[in-house]
Amino acid sequence: MFIANKLFRLSVFFGIVILVLVVYFGYLFFEPYLTQDIITIEIINKERFGSEPSKYLIFTKDEVFLNENNYYHEKDNADEIFPMFTRGNKYKVKVVGTYWPSLNRMRNIVKILEINGVPVKQEPIKLD
């Protein structure tokens, strides 16, 4: 009886849509805390992502990483760390996100911790 009612079906539909949106935006908000990882990578190649500003691709043997500014990852240093990447070097980096190649979803490199075993000291930019 309830299922035949159009108003009931409409309210269930909007309830499910709202629930999906809450889960999706909740995941975006908590993604840096749920998927953060520190890994060691060796760079094979690096590229700018089309003509988009502050968006770069970092290629390794096993995975493709993204280096982009992202509000949810609290990252705004993509242009600063991209020149630090050099082919053949090994890096210890902090990454956030999940890698799903079929969905074009790549992990974002948030911070470089070491280059060839040497710790990197990243200081904040001082504006004069």
- Contact assessment for residue 110 and residue 73, using Cβ atoms and an 8 Å cutoff: yes
Q: What is the rounded distance in angstroms from the CA atom of residue 37 to the CA atom of residue 114?
A: 14
Q: How many CB atoms lie within 10 A of CB 100?
A: 10
> What burial class does residue 6 get, using C-beta atoms within 10 Å of its C-beta: 0-12 exposed, 13-18 middle, 19+ buried?
exposed
pLDDT, tens digit (0-9, with 9 covering 90-100), for 61-98: 989 999 998 887 788 888 888 999 999 999 999 999 88
Put simply, whether the predicted model's pTM sits higher than 0.75 gets the answer no
Per-residue pLDDT tens over the stretch 102-114: 777 889 999 899 8
Contact between 68 and 49 under an 8 Å Cβ cutoff? The reply is: yes
User: Which sequence spans correspond to the domains of the chain?
Assistant: 1-34, 37-119
Q: Which fold is adopted by the domain 37-119?
A: OB fold (Dihydrolipoamide Acetyltransferase, E2P) (2.40.50)
